[in-house]
Amino acid sequence: MSVISAAGVPSAADGGAVEVSRSLSARAGAAARVLFVGDETEGDRARVQRIGARFLGAGLVGYLLVSIGTITATTSLTAPWWPPVSVLLCIGPGLALIVASFRPGTAWLMPLAVITALGYLLAVALWFVAWTGATTPGPEDAAVWLISFPGMPSMVLTIVAPRWGVVNLVVACAAVNTAQQLGRFGDVNADLPVEILWACAFTGVFLAVAHVAVRTGRTLDETRADTYRSVAEAAAGAAREAEKARLDGIIHDRIIASLLAVRPGIPDQRLADQAHSALDEVARMATGDLSPSSETVARDEAIRRIRSTAADVTDRVEVEIVTLEPDPDDPPGDGDYPADVIRAVTEAMAEALRNVVRHAGSDAACAVIAQLGEGVISMAVVDDGRGFDAAAMPAGRLGIAVSIRKRMAQIDGDARIQSQVGRGTTVQLVWERP
């Protein structure tokens, strides 16, 4: 009975009852999943075999329950020892299948399937030994209680060995229908082949269903394995492409750029720093340290790196950086950026600036305009130099394809390049936190 408080709302007792009801429902659902679905971590074929064996074992026990009347009515046809022996041979393996189906793995299935099939055949064979020569009172009465399920043991065998399941079905149907006619009429007649054929055809449909279910499970397992293999191969290929792209970027941005910047005269410290950086990056690749960094960079440090990188490439560039005020409700550190993102953005910017130095012309003006907000970086490298025809640019050019576009793509960013001959170039770099 529900307990109501003075205010007219359910008391804590009702809440406890609801929790108990939910707990019972959850347990019932878990039990149903175990019974009907099985272990979801195993393969589909093994799961079909396990659940199939469980319900076929239950079916054998069920046939015993509905055949008690027939067993009792036909005790005069056989020696007294045959009914209990036949029950043990046919139903015992069914109980074993039910119990074993809750064990891990399916190694138990083949032995029990063979025992189930042989147990049925042995029970029928012993009927001929135990038969007293008497017949049923009516020609339509069942003489052998095993006549009801010759296909059940064959179905158990089918889920592990389909061909042997068919052979067992033919032998079982022939044997039990022969015993049935002897128990009815005292001998066999011309209808025996038809009855055997009918029993095989009728039960064969269920064998086919069992075989298709197991084969479908095997197909799903193979498909899943192929999918996992394809994904692994694709991941390995993507890793190789990423490593190749990184190597291309180092060669183009660091090594080739350093060599092209060498000029006669007093050594440039910026060039020496750039060469040291290239050597450090090559050494890092040689150690296999290619994993993304978990470090973060504060906004002030990100601004410093952008200005420093731009100054290292050229002193002809003007850098303007706009920062958006952080939201006071955001947790501390929410305005930080992943170190890999800052590295990729600054290196893509540096490549765009190197292109300005090499191709825009000695009198071209250049500017970097950047905006840093919460989880977003937007940058434009703009010059008024010679420009180029972007549509005619070869797709394999490392400077644009690898050092800018692919580098931004590796951090899930975007790079857009707009240029016209004689009207300068704009390189837009955008990254947003996922």
Start-end ranges of CATH 3.30.565.10 in the chain?
296-432
Distance CA(128)–CA(182), nearest Å, equals: 9
pLDDT of 170 reads: 95
Q: What is the pLDDT of residues 173-213, one digit of tens each?
A: 999 999 999 999 999 999 999 999 999 999 899 899 888 98
Q: CA–CA separation, 305 vs 254, rounded Å?
A: 17
Pick from 37-41, 45-49, 265-269, 345-349: least confident: 37-41
Phi, psi of 131 (to 5 degrees): -65, 135
Across the range 111-128, mean pLDDT stands at 95
Q: Which fold has domain 296-432?
A: Heat Shock Protein 90 (3.30.565)
Q: What is the pLDDT of residue 84?
A: 95
Distances (CA, A) of 418 to 321, 344, 428: 21, 20, 8
CA dist., res. 209 & res. 214, Å (int): 9
Of 34 and 214, the structure prediction assigns the larger pLDDT to 214
Query: Could you read off the pLDDT of 369-412 as tens digits, one per residue?
Result: 999 988 899 999 999 988 888 776 665 555 677 778 888 888 88
Q: Check residue 268 and give its pLDDT.
A: 62
Give the whole-angstrom CA distance, residue 387 versus residue 342.
27
Q: Report if pTM > 0.85.
A: no
Arithmetic mean of pLDDT over the chain: 80
Average pLDDT in the 317-334 region? 73
Residue 43 has pLDDT above 70, yes or no: yes
pLDDT of residue 30: 45
Q: Give exposure, 42-51, as e/b (b: 16+ Cβ within 10 Å).
A: ebbbbbbbbb
Q: Kindly indicate the confidence band of residue 7, based on its pLDDT and cuts at 50, 70 and 90.
A: very low
Predicted pLDDT of residue 260: 60
Instruction: Identify the residue whose tokens are 């990100």.
Output: 302
Q: What does the pLDDT look like over 228-244, one tens digit per residue?
A: 777 777 766 765 665 66
Residues above pLDDT 70, as percent of the chain? 72
The answer on pLDDT for 33 being more than 60 is: no
CA distance 157 to 171: 13
Nearest to 101 by CA among 53, 156, 34: 53
Residue 90: pLDDT band with limits 50, 70, 90: very high
Q: Is the pLDDT of residue 5 over 90?
A: no
- With a CB cutoff of 8 Å and minimum separation 6, the contacts of 38 are 47, 50, 51
Supply the pLDDT for residue 312. 84
Task: Indicate whether 277 pLDDT > 70.
Answer: no
pLDDT at 173: 94
Confidence of residue 106 (pLDDT cuts 50, 70, 90): confident
